[in-house]
Structure 1
Amino acid sequence: MVGYPAVTRSFPQLASFALALITAYAGLATAGPRSPGPAPAPQSIREAVEPEEPVLPPRPGAPFAAQTWPQRVAVRLADVSARARARDWTADPTGDASLRRKLAELVRRAGPGVAVHVADLDEGTWLFDQNGAARLNPASNQKVLTAVAALELLGPDYRFETRLVRDGDALVLIGDGDPSLQLQGLHALASKALAAEALAGVRRIVIDERAFSPERVGPGYEEPPGPGPSYLAPSGALSLSFNTVETTVRTDGKAVHVEVTPASEHVTVVNKARPLRGRALEVTSTCEGGRTVLTVTGAAKRKPITVRRRICDPGKFAGEAFAAVLHELGGPLLPVESGAASAHAREVATLVSPPLSQILASALKYSNNFTSEQVVRTLGRRMSGAPGSWDNGRAALQAFWRAAGNDPRELQPENGSGLSLRGRVSARGLVRVLALARDEGGAAASIVPALAGAGGEGTLRLRMPGGHGRVRGKTGTIGGVSALSGIAATPDGRRALGFSVLINGKNLAMPRSRRLQDRIVLALLEHLDAG
């Protein structure tokens, strides 16, 4: 087994792990409109180092650190497969008949289009199954598969590195797919460049986005007319602030003031708003000539109103923001262009992200689509050795799904987030993926504190208050789809049940779907309490 730090199975301890760091991601580029929250600061910036020699294919039995990324992923897939085979996934021979009857009655009342699977994650037995193998749209429950696959195959301590190098007369900003890069990180890189006196003779800034393929919009991300919401943010190897901007609009009664953060020449503001009176204020984001255009219309109020909108070109947005920061700190105002660093470029500074286990909290607690797409493309890049794309990202998810002991016919992913009308997954497959979180020392254990907590935080904060500290899960909602998958545990965390409830179709209104999901989970808690 691949060695990771040991993780206790104590559910309360896992649930409280790193919550202060996790909440920094609240409400940004989510699966639906949410109020924005503070952004996380990058963890560290390290001194420039000489480029390492290329890593040769390891000899049989070579140390893990000497392996290429595709080889590392292959080793970890084999480990996942071995752990999955240790679970037989047979019916629980001592199962509670009253629990089965209760769940069966709840599902019967709901009508067609419902799949439910419940299993004892430690014993490897299932307690209840209704259409568990059926392929249904999981909505944002797809993020569970993406997150567990990334934790197992990349590792919970995996970090993204945004590099700044000097190449002739250019400063080159090299993206690594970091979903957590914020304005503070660009300040750190610019400050390091100034301190290292790396700007002499520099005439331009080049953005290097070769870590990902050129596609920016994930498959399944439909483009309906609208304001350009943050949950439809594009993806890119060099991305900033979840590829969104905060637009704050206010008036002093005479003029309307619009402030955009982060500031970037990539973004143009067209202010058509009027003070105080008129139709409702609206801020729309459109792509025009390769730039992001924010159009503000309607009536501005004295009380500031802030909305978050997506941008169009991630690399140009981040590059222009870096140019503005560098100029603000006393450097020259430099033009920005796309390109690539040469093999002779000299390192100036490297910005290191927080660990993957923390970054995933934005995708799981608050359903951030952007984070999941960045992660699935990174997963595809590391497994294939090619630039990260949705094609090799889906291939990585399918390989992981099979390694976790699932039928490949039960998975049809379209992207990493679940914002899709065509994505399909089975309820029992999601539960088997979650079972990896119960393995002692397994990397997937890091997913537990990153999930939303019933009656606590994230998208479950207003649901199942009686399950506080005992239920962790991921919600999923799009038109005609409601889903909930997660883990319910005893108060001491010694026993845990995995569950997945996928509801497709319009026979159940959204409030009724959520009530059904909550009743199923509360029934599981009663079963656990009965011993």
Structure 2
Amino acid sequence: MPRITSSTDASGGRHRKPRAMSPSVRRALLAAATAPIAGSILAGPSAFAADKAVPRTTAPELDPAEQKIADNLNTRTVDARLGSTLSGVVIDAESDKAVWGHDATTALMPASNTKLATSTAALTVLGPDHRFTTKVVYGDGTLTLVGGGDRTLTTGDLQALAKTAVAGLKSAGLASVKVKVDDSLFPEPTLANGWNTGYYPDEVAPVRALVVDGHAVMDTSLDAGQVFAGLLTQQGVTVTGDVTHGVAGPGDVPVAQHRSGKLSGIVEHMLKVSDNNIAETLLRMTALGAGRPATFENGAAVVRDVLSRRYGVSLENFEMYDGSGLSRATRIPARTLADILDLTTDPRYGHTLRYIAEGLPVAGEAGATLGPEWGRFDTADSKCAVGKVSAKTGTLTGAIALSGMTKAQDGRLKIFSFVENGSTANPADIKDALDGLAATVNGCWA
């Protein structure tokens, strides 16, 4: 299996981060400050993309520290646990120079590394301060719980909504009410192309605009309505009949509303624990934010627009069918994943995208997907990198990925992505091998 240490296999045509701001970029920044985000993304290619340098035709020289990373990766990737299908790349975050690559533009199943693309688009289109709103409206003897795409809604939040609603009902002399749920914000289909039937509702629930406490059920909206009805009953209001689906009427009166926490915090949490359901909701809401219907197809289309037109990321060999990465039809090369992460280190985009870097699990950090409870970074060739590597995990049957960043021995931040498909080794052993690759970038060598 040949390895390379040049950028021939890994450059992907990405531009270097400018040391001095060019006039075209300055004009783009000024325009972005006054233009609506969605409009500027979808209108056409941005000046950022146009400001790229001409793609390199010769490989840049590696300094001794970088050459050591490349040589050690060449040694460590000759590993039976990794099988024969690996896409990998390491780039220097400041210069964007490719330090090492192997089949870096080969498109493989990225599993939950797809969430990096979803997060980038959501933060760009909606903004880090965006909040999701759940409403209660009243009309014709019925309280309607209206879903607003808040996947973090809790029973406590519903209790507060119920308390406000009950106070309004009682002040109007009403002691009984019907309850329905309106999740029309998200049209069908609720299941993505490439999802196995065994995924839902436990790995991911059919995607709806209303859910409480992240319940893993087939109809999260009806479930939330039933919880809400129970809370109304506890507070002395009789709920007549069954909770049903419906659409709030144009004349319905607003009774109560709940706003979620900021999107920035939701993205960080979603990445830390790799929450599939939040990722799917964000994909739908991103489509809405860009002025499109909230479907899988439109969400994926907006992600493509954001990555290519807004940020100039190459989408060669890029196929995306959901927001979480559970789709077995999705294909993303390691180089593209690394380029997405590289955006988070660019000061031009820090205000918007830094939450992705901050949300990456840290090697050895309990409560996240690189924690000791998952058996990560606990072998001889990786435990010396505990606390030093931040990376997004990805796991499907036949696909395991790890993409992130670490400060190497030369003191410079390196971005890496390793995606493996098709190995017949035990998944825990494959993860150990990928942890060893990430540790190698950091400088660990045991």
Q: What's 1:72 paired with?
A: 37
Q: TM-score, normalised by structure 2?
A: 0.80
- Matches for 1:146-185 after TM superposition, within 5 Å: 146-185=118-157
Amino acid at match of 2:370: L
Matched, 1:391 2:297: yes
Amino acid at match of 1:220: G
Q: What's 1:222 paired with?
A: 196
Structure 1 residues 143 and 114, CA gap change in structure 2 (3 angstroms): same
| Structure 1 contact 80–152 (Cα < 8 Å) conserved | no
Deviations 1:62-97 (A, max 9, x none): 985xx7xxx532325689954456665755434422
- Matches for 1:33-432 after TM superposition, within 5 Å: 71-75=36-40, 81-83=46-48, 88=53, 92-95=60-63, 96-109=66-79, 110-197=82-169, 200-201=173-174, 203-224=177-198, 230-242=202-214, 244=215, 310-335=216-241, 336-386=243-293, 388-403=294-309, 404-432=311-339
SS in structure 2 of the partner of residue 230 of structure 1: coil
CA distance in 2, matches of 1:413, 1:519: 28
Amino acid at match of 2:407: A
CA distance in 1, matches of 2:45, 2:269: 25
Q: CA deviation at 1:211?
A: 1.1
SS in structure 1 of the partner of residue 101 of structure 2: strand
| Structure 1 contact 410–429 (Cα < 8 Å) conserved | no
CA distance in 2, matches of 1:521, 1:99: 10
Structure 1 residues 393 and 175, CA gap change in structure 2 (3 angstroms): same
CA distance in 1, matches of 2:237, 2:95: 61
Q: CA deviation at 1:378?
A: 1.0
Amino acid at match of 2:138: R
Structure 1 residues 62 and 144, CA gap change in structure 2 (3 angstroms): closer
Q: CA deviation at 1:327?
A: 0.8
Structure 1 residues 153 and 495, CA gap change in structure 2 (3 angstroms): farther
Structure 1 residues 123 and 490, CA gap change in structure 2 (3 angstroms): same
Q: What's 1:34 paired with?
A: none
Matched, 1:504 2:421: yes
Q: What's 2:370 paired with?
A: 460
| Structure 1 contact 87–123 (Cα < 8 Å) conserved | no
Q: CA deviation at 1:161?
A: 0.4
Give the alignment partner of residue 443 of structure 1, picking from 352, 364, 370.
352
| Structure 2 contact 391–402 (Cα < 8 Å) conserved | yes
Structure 1 residues 453 and 166, CA gap change in structure 2 (3 angstroms): same
CA distance in 2, matches of 1:480, 1:195: 54
CA distance in 2, matches of 1:221, 1:194: 41
Amino acid at match of 1:148: T
Structure 1 residues 200 and 359, CA gap change in structure 2 (3 angstroms): farther
Q: CA deviation at 1:507?
A: 4.5
CA distance in 2, matches of 1:85, 1:513: 39
Q: CA deviation at 1:428?
A: 0.4
| Structure 2 contact 292–298 (Cα < 8 Å) conserved | no
Q: CA deviation at 1:145?
A: 1.3
Q: Count the aligned residue pairs.
A: 393
CA distance in 2, matches of 1:417, 1:484: 15
CA distance in 1, matches of 2:358, 2:314: 28
SS in structure 2 of the partner of residue 241 of structure 1: coil
Amino acid at match of 1:509: N
Matched, 1:475 2:393: yes
CA distance in 2, matches of 1:80, 1:466: 43
Q: CA deviation at 1:455?
A: 0.9
Give the alignment partner of residue 402 of structure 2, picking from 475, 479, 484.
484
Percent identity, aligned pairs only, is 29
SS in structure 2 of the partner of residue 158 of structure 1: coil
CA distance in 1, matches of 2:324, 2:272: 13
| Structure 1 contact 384–392 (Cα < 8 Å) conserved | no
CA distance in 2, matches of 1:185, 1:466: 43
Structure 1 residues 360 and 491, CA gap change in structure 2 (3 angstroms): farther
| Structure 2 contact 37–124 (Cα < 8 Å) conserved | no
Q: CA deviation at 1:352?
A: 0.5
CA distance in 2, matches of 1:315, 1:187: 16
| Structure 2 contact 83–423 (Cα < 8 Å) conserved | no
Unaligned runs of 5+ residues in structure 1 are 1-60, 245-309
CA distance in 2, matches of 1:511, 1:174: 42
Deviations 1:259-297 (A, max 9, x none): xxxxxxxxxxxxxxxxxxxxxxxxxxxxxxxxxxxxxxx
CA distance in 1, matches of 2:219, 2:301: 26
SS in structure 2 of the partner of residue 179 of structure 1: coil
| Structure 1 contact 455–466 (Cα < 8 Å) conserved | no
Structure 1 residues 98 and 63, CA gap change in structure 2 (3 angstroms): closer
Amino acid at match of 2:423: K
Amino acid at match of 1:526: G
SS in structure 1 of the partner of residue 290 of structure 2: helix
Q: CA deviation at 1:380?
A: 1.4
CA distance in 2, matches of 1:427, 1:315: 37
Q: CA deviation at 1:200?
A: 4.2
CA distance in 2, matches of 1:396, 1:199: 45
